[in-house]
Amino acid sequence: MQELLTQTEIVTFGKCEKRWEHRYVSWLTPFVESMALSMGSAFHEGLDAGNPEAAVDYLDKQDPAWGQWEDGKNRVNKAIAHTMVSAALKQWQSWPDKSEFQFQLGLPKPGTGNVSKKHRLSGVWDGVWEGSHPRFPGEVVLGEWKTASIVNNDYMQRLDIDFQVSAYLWVASKLYGKPVTKMVYRVVKKPTIRQRKNETEEEYIDRLRQDYEERPEHYLFETVVERTEEQLDEWHKQAWAVHSRMLQIKRGDVPAIKNTQACLSRGRCPYFDLCVGAVTEDAFKRLETKHREIN
């Protein structure tokens, strides 16, 4: 039976093979979801529903993950999620025909067309305009929505080589049977103002909402990312190479390499305590499904 392989899994593998093994072979995950992950999911729920209240509802259901945050912090985070979704819905008038579109596709070996017997590509596009995007009438255009703490020139330039963009456009080209080369990429920046001393939560939340209203150019970004056929081919070859290496590790032919440079960079790896032997696997939740985002 073929397993589903997502771009998120490929990205995890690229960060550290051991991390991938913990998460996608052993299906281990921390008991408490990180706040950043919860906020990102809430943001997508709100946009998918076209209603900021849906983001708040999502966070309300995140018990016990959210139980760890004291009431005030909880209220502020819900207000932030609500504000970010409201700002996005106000800023952008055109939204795709389809949202949260889940795909599946065989992964063919480059140059042969023989499809992998072990893996099937899967994932979720945030949105697809099937010919109705006002700037690109008649074209299939994908949409991707993100939240980010920092959005600068480097962030935007990196999109030119971002492999998730390439992956999704490659898959879309196969599924639609014609080149799909454009992705509308929208980013909403997280708040850059903090609660002041002697400022109540309500006052801070009001100031926050006002800041997004008055400075949309500081918080909301949109660009159209494009790919050439060569870039899509390059992604395909890399995806095949990663898939082959994953199978070698699963068969026990080679060990999963620990990339120790990634343990503490960009935050502490959630499996750090396990890797250094401070805890056992019992300190983690074992998932019932490999990909939580795929139904």
The amino acid that residue 170 corresponds to is: W
Please report how close the Cβ of residue 40 comes to ligand SF4 at its closest, in angstroms. Answer: 20
Interface residue with ligand SF4, options 7, 18, 76, 77 (CB under 6 A) = 18
**176 touches ligand SF4 (CB under 6 A):** no
Residue with tokens 């913990």: 22
Contact between 82 and ligand SF4 (CB under 6 A)? no
Q: How far is the CB of 64 from ligand SF4 (least distance, A)?
A: 24
Stretch of 36-44, 46-54, 182-190, 263-271 contacting ligand SF4, by CB under 6 A:
263-271
Smallest gap from residue 265 Cβ to ligand SF4 (A):
9
Instruction: Choose which of 102, 193, 196, 272 interacts with ligand SF4 (CB under 6 A).
Output: 272
Q: Could you tell me the CA-to-CA distances from 271 to 15, 19, 112, 185, 244 in Å, in that order?
A: 13, 7, 38, 31, 24
Q: What single letter denotes the amino acid at residue 96?
A: P
Q: Does 258 bind ligand SF4 (CB under 6 A)?
A: yes
Task: Quote the CA–CA distance of 52 and 43 in Å, as a whole number.
Answer: 8
Task: Specify the stretch interacting with ligand SF4 by CB under 6 A; choose among 115-123, 137-145, 179-187, 257-265.
Answer: 257-265
Going by the DSSP 8-state scheme, the letter that residue 116 receives in this structure is E
Task: Candidates 5, 16, 124, 142: give the one binding ligand SF4 (CB under 6 A).
Answer: 16
Pick from 2, 74, 91, 259: which binds ligand SF4 (CB under 6 A)?
Answer: 259
CB of 8 vs ligand SF4, minimal distance in Å: 16
The answer to whether 3 and 290 are in contact (CB under 8 A) is yes
Measured from the CB atom, the residue of 2 and 259 that comes closer to ligand SF4 is 259
Q: How far is CA 36 from CA 33, 40, 41, 199, 236, in A?
A: 8, 6, 9, 24, 30
Measured CA to CA, the distance from residue 241 to residue 245 in angstroms comes to 6
| Under rule CB under 6 A, residue 23 binds ligand SF4 | no
Query: How many whole angstroms separate alpha carbon 159 and alpha carbon 268?
Result: 24
| Using rule CB under 6 A, residue 275 touches ligand SF4 | yes
Compute the distance between CA of residue 213 and CA of residue 228 in angstroms, rounded to an integer.
37
Please report the sign of the dihedral spanned by the C-alpha atoms of residue 195, residue 197, residue 200, residue 203: negative
- How far is residue 180's CA from residue 165's CA, in Å, rounded to a whole number? 11
245 binds ligand SF4 per the rule CB under 6 A? no
Contact stretch for ligand SF4 (CB under 6 A) within 116-124, 209-217, 258-266, 277-285 = 258-266
For tokens 């490929």, name the residue.
Answer: 10
User: Is residue 25 involved in binding ligand SF4 (CB under 6 A)?
Assistant: no
Classify the C-alpha dihedral 190-196-199-200 as positive or negative: positive
By CB under 6 A, name the binding residues for ligand SF4: 16, 18-19, 22, 258-260, 262-263, 269, 271-272, 275
